Structure 1
Amino acid sequence: MSALPAGRHFFRGDDGYEAARSGTVWNQRVPARHPEVIVQATEVDDIVKSLRYAKANGRKVNIRSGGHSWAANHLRDDALLLDVSRIDHAEIDAEKGTARVGPGKGGSILMGELEAQNLFFPAGHCKGVCLGGYLLQGGYGWNSRVWGLACENVIGLDVVTADGEQIYCDADNHPDLYWAARGAGPGFFAVVTSFHLKLYPRPAACGTAVYVYPIELADEIYTWARNVSAEVDRRVEMQIVASRSVPSMNLETPAITFASPAFADSEKEAEEVLKIFGTVPVVDKALVNIPYMPTDMPTWYTAVMSNYLADYRYAADNMWTSASADDLLPGIHNIIDTIPDHPSHFLWLNWGPSPQRPDMAYSIEDEVYLALYGAWKNEADDGKYGDWARSNMAAMSHLATGIQLADENLGQRPARFASDDAMVRLDKTRAEYDPDGLFNSWMGRL
């Protein structure tokens, strides 16, 4: 008899297996990688049983909490896939400003629950992204330029180790495991059952500036964005999206869209910090020009998801860089000249210069973040569009500091995602907590 949770596990070949496997991938491009067994955990005991089963039967383990996971790192041949997306509790202590949440809790759902209590957390920008993978890989969230990466606001974790032991880790308890959890992403070597989070007061005002430019103005737009990078107030997220069309604005023409939120103590303050967008040298040529409008989180989530439609096939890749506009523009031109139809897009995010970060596995970032999201409908077009993101990032890799794990493509393009010192420490900590290599690591690393 299997020691696995009854009624919630599927061996390859079982009825329900393929639905369980493909259901762990958000987009329609499901890799041809097949775990031997999939366990849909609903409680900690399911996790303990699954790890013991894997160890007894010589199976590696991967974990999926529920998110976009473009590369589907969690799908590995012959492994045990532990799906923890159903462990989605959330206990909010408004008085202490903390929360204890499960890995399967949706970030946007948590955000709504927090806002009802006048609280806030730098959850992810997309609906449907659960906190497990998001927090482990770093967490670039709402107002993260002020409050830090989401993982910086993880003050403790409840985990199950490779030997089935349930432990709590923080800066004082199992500090090496706590260090690794904040940045190891899909290479983390334990199963998180709860994250303990630091919360913030809900900002009094959320405003935005929206500008849309003809794509022919790319040189002027990106040169300006690069030159003002260090001047952008940290309360502002300068997001620039290039795409073949902007359906949300009823524009069926290639365009570059600035859609930048600001979180502030007042509407006046939010409006003031967004004035920098009025200094674009070609602002008079904008197709849409909205210097300021008040907004809210539900509206923002809807706007973001217009670029991430669920019924498409996706491939993503990314890079951090501090290169000049002159050096970046040749690659940018190739990106926008070859970009597939919407919702494919090219994201430019002005991120730094950043403050000093805590000591944690997350250890690579830079002034500008570039990410490519290729999207297409038909499997027959995989050959046509599937390599667009990878090939363009590979062509610009000489300008990259590294990548970040949220949009990783390590199986197709190994790249640096942590500092050399951090990788040494990760390997050492893995050897301590998972000496037999029960947990699969990243699909690729340099």
Structure 2
Amino acid sequence: MDLPHRHFFRDDPGYEQARSRTVWNARTPERYPDLVIQAADADDVVATVQYATARDLKIGIRSGGHSWAGNHIRDGGVLLDVHDLNRCEVDVEAGTAVVGPGMGGSVLAGLLWEQGLFFPAGHCKGVCIGGYLLQGGYGWNSRVLGPACESVLGLDVVTADGEQLHIDADNHADLYWAARGSGPGFFAAVTAFHLKLYRRPQICGSSLYVYPMEIADEIYPWARSISAEVDRKVELQIAASRSVPGMGLQTPGIVFASPVFADTEQDAINALALLETCPVRDKAIAAVPYAPADLETWYAGIMSNYPDGHRYTADNIWTSASADELMPGITKTLESMPPHPSHFLWLNWGPSPQRQDMAYSLEDEIYLACYGVWDDPADDEIYGDWARSSMAAMEHLQSGIQLADENLGRRPAPFASAEAMAKLDRVRAAYDPNGRFHSWMGRV
């Protein structure tokens, strides 16, 4: 049985480059697969699965490598890199696309934008759609369009026995159900996603407010009090950090950056008007109630918090707790936060509408996440546990986590309902009875 052309055993020249290129995080995990395979097409994926099956090897899969924890890199077995499966075929009339797992979300968004189309791609450049869609997909305008996995019409996959299947609501429906929300624990290799596309929003804009950190105890309770009132066209993102360099602010700040998607400019202005009612509005260091925006502007702003070549750790919780319950933990998180670009994120998400029946089954009103970011390996001991310990201190208030920012290897937590997890186990037993594909870290 021949291996794909691009493969690297541990003793081969190029192995370490092949292994480390699968991780965007400069904290490349000290885990070493026996073999790294860089697939060029679906046939390479089939050959990889057949090779692993013949030798009883487990498989980890990478599309973009933006997993903070490097879930795809494990000791032993095979690391299957599908980054180069990045084809994109758009049917404008049908409003659909067939896209490989290695296609960058921001690249896809740009291609669609030029054709008057839209898809709720992820907020960060470099994230490929493979892992993004499998774990749920919180992207642009997702409060209206839903997590991106709801817009996955079907998938082309290679199963644990090396069979190529197309799965959708009518074909292998249980496997299709599992693909939408199981994230890095999905038990097949995806070679293509079939996506539902949308009309590009007529108006894209945003508001921007910056408040001093000293009034955090007034900012967050107010944000909690309006959480159910925020128009679903608005993404109310609140990021706190030790400095806001893009605005020349070298002191701690709390930034309200809120994209809005609407049919008219007046609709956008009206949707954002609620943010002008903040009781400490007069203390804002900067305030832009509304301004036109576009994807490139948004991506540039987001990526100022996620520079290349840095060391990362992340953790998160979903919660419906009250401000009184949350503020002790938030205060401690802010006080212990490492220097910029480390940051603490608050996202007003729900209450959400009824979702489709899929493995993705857990979300809540408020999303909180910590992102530790630094560049010196000598600071690993100082900053490496901030995200985990901050979220652990509030986990008595969590309903669960989302897989995009998972830290399951260090802090196990629920990411799907108990019923969904039980079904995932049943479907895995049917399609991958020998555990060919790695499960989630922190869970056998």
What interval of TM-score do these two structures reach, taking the shorter chain for normalisation?
over 0.9
Q: Alignment partner of 1:375: what SS?
A: strand
Tell me the equivalent position of 1:230: 228
**Distance in 2 (alpha carbons) for counterparts of 1:407 and 1:439:** 21
In structure 2, the residue matched to 1:148 is: 146
**Amino acid aligned to 2:393:** A
- The residue type equivalent to 2:355 in the other structure is R
Q: Which amino acid aligns with 2:386?
A: W
The match for 1:349 is 347
1:140-191 Cα offsets, whole Å, 9 max, x none, are 0100000111000001001010111111111110000000000000000001
Structure 1 residue 230 displacement after superposition: 0.3
Identity %: 66
Residue in structure 2 matched with residue 212 of structure 1 by the alignment: 210
Q: 1:70 aligns with which of 51, 65, 68?
A: 68
Q: Is the 8 A contact 1:416 1:445 kept in 2?
A: no
Q: Which residue of 2 aligns with 1:31?
A: 29
2:114 maps to a residue whose letter is: A
- Equivalent position of 1:175 in the other structure: 173
Cα distance, 1:237 vs. partner? 0.2
Q: Which residue of 1 aligns with 2:324?
A: 326
Alignment pair present for 1:247 and 2:245: yes
Aligned residue for 2:228, secondary structure, equals helix
Q: CA RMSD for the aligned pairs?
A: 0.8
- Superposed CA deviations along residues 283-317 of structure 1, whole A, max 9, x for unmatched, are 00000011111010111000000000112100000
State yes or no: 1:289 paired with 2:270: no
Counterpart CA distance in 2 for 1:292 and 1:67 is 35
Listed one character per residue, the Cα deviations across residues 377-401 of structure 1 (whole Å, up to 9, x for unaligned) are 1111111110000011111000000
SS in 1 for 2:290: strand
Paired AA for residue 144 in structure 1: S
Residue 54 of structure 1 corresponds to which residue in structure 2?
52
- Unaligned 5+ residue runs, structure 1? none
TM-score (norm 2): 0.99
Unaligned runs of 5+ in 2: none
What code does the residue aligned with 1:3 have? D
Give the alignment partner of residue 359 of structure 1, picking from 336, 354, 357.
Answer: 357
Deviation, 1:67, is: 3.9
Tell me how far apart the structure 2 counterparts of residues 99 and 49 of structure 1 sit (CA, whole Å): 26
The aligned runs of 1:5-404 (5 Å cut-off) are 5-6=4-5, 8-404=6-402
The superposition leaves residues 189-221 of structure 1 with CA deviations (integer Å, 9 ceiling, x where unpaired) of: 001111000000000101110000000110111
Correspondent of 1:421 among 419, 422, 438: 419
Between the aligned partners of 2:403 and 2:141, the Cα distance in structure 1 is 19
Counterpart residue identity of residue 42, structure 1: A
Distance 1:413 1:306 in 2: 27
List structure 1 runs of 4+ shifted beyond 2 angstroms.
none
Q: Which amino acid aligns with 2:303?
A: M
Question: Equivalents in 2 of 1:242, 1:129: separation in Å?
Answer: 23
Q: Is the CA contact (8 Å cut-off) linking 1:415 and 1:445 kept in structure 2?
A: no
1:4 aligns with: 3
Counterpart residue type for residue 247 of structure 1: P
Find the residue that maps to 1:231 and give its secondary structure: coil
Distance in 2 between residues matched to 1:445 and 1:322, nearest whole Å: 26
SS in 2 for 1:220: helix
Distance in 1 of aligned mates of 2:70 and 2:119: 26
Question: 1:445 Cα shift?
Answer: 3.9
Taking the aligned partners of 1:421 and 1:79, their CA distance within structure 2 comes to 31
